[in-house]
């Protein structure tokens, strides 16, 4: 209303005239994230083209991309990719289903957590790949083995983050619930669990990355005839570099995609985070 009245008395308003007069600039800044990858491919191409690196060790980026796309579009790479995704998600699911409830429970009873804290921290600090021989003894050279060890590594991360999420819940929110007459159980289900969600998601995101790393390592070194890890090591043995690099790139794409996926889910679920 005020604007309309102002327009009547003063027909010229600087703001409305100036806006369309601005030249339409192309948003170059939006292309910045693409700069790094393009630069990498240019350098890569130059290194191969001018013979700094032998073509037998490094194919051109174009050849690699073609191998990647054709491999993923129904080729053998696609099957290995799918197998690795399946193992990673299985390991992750086990870790999440056990880790989140157990972590929340341990976190809500600080004494219980303190009594197992050293174990959690110790095995969290132990590279899971160092435990592969141990898991070989227990599970043998099987598919279960690869999922089990990845689940173990991921589980500890989930557990740790969920437990700390509960322990570090904002004291004032707990006090607010308490002063409104909430019982211990009501504080647990209405405050603590919600407060732990954000750190839990950080844990889940790290856990899915960890599961992927361990699955790939396990596929490389525990007798396997499927999976990206198996494909990478096999291709390397016979110097099939195009296949090797395309498998490496697809493992990278998988890791990146999983991370983005979990970030998106996290933002949906923990919508209040950081606000």
Partner 1 sequence: MNDMRPINVAPVADVPVAPFVPGPAGTHITIRGLTKYFAGWPLYENFDLNIPKHKIVSVFGPNGCGKSTLINMIAGLVPIDAGEILFDGKSLADTKIGYVFQNYREAMFPWLRTIDNIAYPLKLAGKSKAELDRRVAELVASFDVKFDLNRFPYELSGGQQQTASIMRALAPEPEVLFLDEPFSALDFEMTLFIREKLQEVFMQTGTTMMLVSHDLEEAVYLADEVLLLTKRPTRIAEILRYGDARPRTVATLSEPSFIATKKQSLEIFQREVRR
Interface residues with partner 1 (CB under 8 A) are: 170, 172-173, 175-176, 178-182, 186, 190-191, 194, 197, 271-272, 275
Of 192 and 235, CB closest to partner 1? 192
In whole angstroms, the minimum distance from the beta carbon of 205 to partner 1 comes to 19
In whole angstroms, the minimum distance from the beta carbon of 198 to partner 1 comes to 10
In whole angstroms, the minimum distance from the beta carbon of 188 to partner 1 comes to 13
- φ/ψ of 238, rounded to 5, equals -105, 15
Number of CB atoms found within 10 A of residue 263's CB = 12
Question: Whose CA is closest to 100, among 175, 205, 226, 250?
Answer: 205
Of 109 and 186, CB closest to partner 1? 186
**163-198 exposure pattern, b = at least 16 Cβ within 10 A, e = fewer:** bbbbbebeeeebeebeeeebeeeebbeebbbebbbb
Of 49 and 184, CB closest to partner 1? 184
Of 70 and 186, CB closest to partner 1? 186
Question: Whose CA is closest to 153, among 67, 227, 215, 219?
Answer: 215
Write the CA distances from 33 to 29, 37, 39, 44, 62, integer angstroms.
Answer: 8, 8, 11, 18, 20
Of 176 and 253, CB closest to partner 1? 176
In whole angstroms, the minimum distance from the beta carbon of 186 to partner 1 comes to 6
Of 89 and 270, CB closest to partner 1? 270
In whole angstroms, the minimum distance from the beta carbon of 183 to partner 1 comes to 8
**123-132 exposure pattern, b = at least 16 Cβ within 10 A, e = fewer:** eeeeebeebb
In whole angstroms, the minimum distance from the beta carbon of 170 to partner 1 comes to 5
């Amino acid at each position: 209303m005020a604007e309309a009245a102002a327009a009547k008395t003063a027909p010229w308003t600087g703001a409305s005239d100036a806006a369309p007069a601005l030249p339409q600039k192309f948003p170059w800044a939006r292309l910045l994230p693409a700069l790094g990858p393009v630069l990498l491919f240019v350098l890569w191409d130059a290194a191969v083209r001018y013979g700094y690196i032998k073509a037998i060790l490094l194919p051109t980026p174009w050849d690699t991309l073609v191998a990647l796309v054709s491999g993923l579009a129904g080729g053998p790479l696609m099957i290995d990719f799918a197998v690795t995704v399946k193992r990673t998600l299985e390991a992750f699911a086990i870790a999440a289903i056990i880790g989140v409830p157990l972590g929340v429970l341990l976190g809500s009873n600080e004494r219980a957590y303190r009594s197992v804290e050293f174990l959690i921290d110790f095995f969290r600090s132990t590279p899971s790949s160092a435990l592969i021989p141990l898991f070989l003894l227990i599970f043998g050279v099987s598919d279960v083995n690869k999922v089990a060890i990845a689940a173990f590594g991921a589980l500890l991360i989930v557990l740790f983050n969920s437990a700390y999420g509960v322990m570090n819940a904002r004291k004032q929110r707990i006090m607010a619930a308490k002063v409104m007459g909430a019982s211990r159980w009501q504080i647990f289900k209405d405050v603590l669990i919600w407060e732990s969600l954000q750190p839990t998601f950080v844990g889940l995101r790290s856990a899915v990355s960890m599961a992927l790393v361990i699955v790939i390592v396990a596929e490389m070194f525990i007798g396997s005839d499927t999976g990206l890890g198996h494909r990478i090591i096999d291709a390397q043995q016979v110097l099939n570099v195009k296949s090797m690099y395309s498998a490496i790139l697809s493992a990278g794409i998988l890791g990146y995609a999983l991370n983005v996926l979990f970030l998106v889910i996290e933002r949906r679920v923990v919508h209040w985070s950081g606000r």
